[in-house]
């Protein structure tokens, strides 16, 4: 009885407390807005001609880097979260030809049923060549990959052994549905990252003007592979702008 009475007296107080609150406006229904993030792939010294990298991708001169920096800054200014991937290998990494006696750079070998391209040593963690060439303040997070000596990791989402990076959970946490991807190299890490983003269910747009490939034939093939998996391949940043709320894209 006592508790019922105290409940009643509490209820009697309620109109007073609610009348003190500001008037409530009903929530306006919002159409689902595709939320876009950006993944900038492996803009690191060792992958660029501008920094005389050990695995410099053709066309990665100062002009290219300036274009990537300008585009990334403008996307950041537009309020988009920007994520970077960073190749970050131990010195004894399996992808380095020098860790396979008798092998040469750019040879392909079979390793436990996978094809492994043997690269010149590159992006050794904490080395100068592993540094990101863009302002760190642009990035919501930097996702490092290829840290396990046993596996290569072209993708920013997972390595060849199937271990996931933080990328997908970061995107999910930010409620992202659309990612814009560009960087180096089109035919390896950009390709793998964009394909894994699409496989994870994100809408994906890849920008060719802001990307560079290792070789023409594999770059052409990579763009075909991306299109086949539903990735929107566009030449310019201005073509990559997210769909507007008035024209939502079905998932």
- The site for Zn ion (CB under 5 A) is made up of 87, 146
Does residue 42 carry a catalytic annotation?
Answer: yes
Residue nearest to Zn ion (CB): 87
> Which residue's CB is nearer to Zn ion, number 118 or number 237?
118
Residue 154 contacts residue 192 (beta carbons within 8 Å) = yes
> Which residue's CB is nearer to Zn ion, number 189 or number 237?
189
- Measured from the CB of residue 251, what is the shortest distance to Zn ion in angstroms? 33
> Which residue's CB is nearer to Zn ion, number 87 or number 160?
87
- Measured from the CB of residue 87, what is the shortest distance to Zn ion in angstroms? 4
> Which residue's CB is nearer to Zn ion, number 36 or number 44?
44
| Among the listed residues 176, 157, 173, the one whose alpha carbon sits nearest the alpha carbon of residue 165 | 157
For tokens 């695995």, what's the residue? 55
* Helix (H) or strand (E) segment spanning residue 8: helix 2-20
- Measured from the CB of residue 137, what is the shortest distance to Zn ion in angstroms? 25
Does residue 104 carry a catalytic annotation?
Answer: no
Does residue 239 carry a catalytic annotation?
Answer: no
β-pair partners for 38: 82, 180
Greatest C-alpha distance within the chain: 89
Catalytic residue among 46, 123, 145, 196: 145
Geometric angle at alpha carbon 56, from 197 and 164, rounded to 5°: 25
Q: What's phi and psi for 212, nearest 5 deg?
A: -135, 145
- Measured from the CB of residue 95, what is the shortest distance to Zn ion in angstroms? 5
For tokens 């995107």, what's the residue? 171
Q: Which are the catalytic amino acids?
A: 42, 145, 189
């Amino acid at each position: 009885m006592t508790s019922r009475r105290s409940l009643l007296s509490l209820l009697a107080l309620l109109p007073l407390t609610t009348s003190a609150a500001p008037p409530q406006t009903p929530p306006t229904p919002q159409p689902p807005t595709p939320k876009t993030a950006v993944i900038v792939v492996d803009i690191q010294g060792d992958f660029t001609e501008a920094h005389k990298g050990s695995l410099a991708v053709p066309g990665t001169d100062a002009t290219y880097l300036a274009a990537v920096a300008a585009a990334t800054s403008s996307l950041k200014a537009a309020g988009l979260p920007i994520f970077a991937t960073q190749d970050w290998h131990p010195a004894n990494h399996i992808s380095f030809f020098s860790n396979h006696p008798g092998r040469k750079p750019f040879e392909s070998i079979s390793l436990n049923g996978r094809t492994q391209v043997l690269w010149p040593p590159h992006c050794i963690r904490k080395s100068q060549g592993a540094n990101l060439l863009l302002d760190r303040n642009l990035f919501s997070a930097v996702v490092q990959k290829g840290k396990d000596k046993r596996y290569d990791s072209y993708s920013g989402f997972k390595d060849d052994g199937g271990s996931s990076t933080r990328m997908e959970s970061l995107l999910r946490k930010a409620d992202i549905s659309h990612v814009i991807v560009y960087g180096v190299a089109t035919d390896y890490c950009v390709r793998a990252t964009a394909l894994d983003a699409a496989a994870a269910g994100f809408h994906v747009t890849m920008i060719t003007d802001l990307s560079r490939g290792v070789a023409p034939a594999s770059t052409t093939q990579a763009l075909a592979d991306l299109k086949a998996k539903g990735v929107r391949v566009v030449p310019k940043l201005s073509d990559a702008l997210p769909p507007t709320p008035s024209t939502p894209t079905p998932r």
